[in-house]
Amino acid sequence: MRNSLFTLVLAVLAGGVSQASSSFTFGKHDHNHTSHGEACGIYPKHAADAEKHFQTNIGSHRAGKYNDDYLWAEIPINFHIIANNQTMLDFIESEGRIEAQFEMMQEAFAPARIEWKLTNITRTINETWWERMGEGLIEEDPDDLLEVNPIERQMKETLGSGNPAILEVFIVQLLQGPGLGGYVRALPARFSDSPEHELERDQIDGVVLNWNALPFNPNPQIRQVFQGKTLIHEVGHWMGLLHTFGHVSEGPGSCEGPGDYIDDTPVQAYATHDDLRSTATSIEDCVAQDSCPGLPGLDPVLNYMDYTPDVCRTEFTPGQIWKMRMMLDMYRNIKAY
């Protein structure tokens, strides 16, 4: 049955898949070396504002920095699968994609002593949500979260819980094509910093994930980049982590400025993916560059918060783990400290 379903869907999608194969680029604006990384929904000004809020409110949490003996934290996760028809809905869930994605999440966050609890999988057929997700993403004003794509806000309000302590993952097709793996609309500090955003959390929060970024994509070219690690990257943003590259105060390509505000991630001028996208097929191919040769350390090519092919993404640093746990505690009512 799985083989026949696979063949049927590939026949239905043949035109789109072949087009994606010939024109595949990695994310919005092709994320070249001057990329800030806005495709994930993370903008320089918002990153700086979030860090200011974090430092202002961290208080006594500083005492636990880089603790190797954290208590385990459990976070509920809901997967919401959206498609335009039953065939596509079945195809997205076939080959064990959701189960494999969940296991990847467990493995990636285990070093941080974070465990995921799968509480629900919803399945929705909605042609409008399928056809218009990602609409206006490039043109929208990122300062005005209450005016972003109304189709997306309707989907989140309908399917999500609005609970900051529950990770809602919305699996969709994105108009930008397979090159954009997913995004979040806001770092968690923005909700604490804005009563208006908190009131509309159920329309803003959560991770929007392109179904192409799930494990076992049928397109070999897409599969070389996306193997299921995109969700881990986006959940890093959902927790409050920034990219390891694209330094927020000085602009893309700069080795100056605060970087991601974490002191054990080396300074990185730009994202790594262009250097490795066509060559990295195993972890041995993930050779770090040095985009800031005058500063200590090589680019963190193995870090989940860089833009690299999924085969390279294998780690968070102790500093990232400490910070994500502090922000879960501060912003998402998850006891992680």
Domains of the chain: 24-244+312-331 (3.40.390)
The pLDDT of residue 332 is above 70: yes
Span of 8-17, 73-82, 172-181, 297-306 with lowest mean pLDDT: 8-17
Mean pLDDT, to the nearest integer, of 310-322? 95
Q: Regarding predicted confidence, which is higher, 305 or 177? A: 305
Q: Name residue 135's amino acid.
A: E
pLDDT band at 11 (very low <50, low <70, confident <90, very high): very low
pLDDT at 247: 58
- Residue of higher predicted confidence among 72 and 279: 72
pLDDT tens for each residue of 214-225: 999 999 888 888
Residue 42 pLDDT exceeds 90: no
Name the pLDDT band for 38 (thresholds 50, 70, 90). Answer: low
Please say whether the beta carbons of 182 and 208 come within 8 A.
yes
Averaged over 107-136, what is the pLDDT?
96
On the question of pLDDT at 301 being above 80, the answer is yes
Q: Which pLDDT score, from 0 to 100, does residue 157 have?
A: 96
The string of pLDDT tens digits covering residues 260-271 is: 999 999 989 888
Mean pLDDT of 276-286: 83
- pLDDT-derived band of residue 4, with 50, 70 and 90 as boundaries? very low
Least confident segment among 4-18, 27-41, 276-290: 4-18
Reported as a pLDDT band with limits 50, 70 and 90, residue 250 is low
- CA–CA gap between residue 225 and residue 90 (Å, rounded): 23
Q: Which of 14-18, 44-48, 214-218, 283-287 has the lowest mean pLDDT?
A: 14-18
Would you state the pLDDT for residue 19? 33
3 φψ region: left (φ > 0), alpha (ψ -120 to 50), beta (else): alpha
pLDDT band at 29 (very low <50, low <70, confident <90, very high): very low
Mean pLDDT, the chain, whole residue set: 84
- The winner for highest mean pLDDT among 127-131, 178-182, 246-250 is 127-131
Neighbours of 262 (CB within 10 A): 20
Q: What pTM value is reported for the model?
A: 0.88
What is the pLDDT, as a whole number, of residue 242? 94
pLDDT at residue 102 greater than cutoff 50: yes
pLDDT-derived band at 249, boundaries 50, 70, 90: low
The predicted structure's pLDDT at residue 36? 45
Confidence of residue 274 (pLDDT cuts 50, 70, 90): low
Q: Which of 1-5, 66-70, 174-178 is predicted most confidently? A: 174-178
> Over 70: is that where the pLDDT of 322 sits?
yes
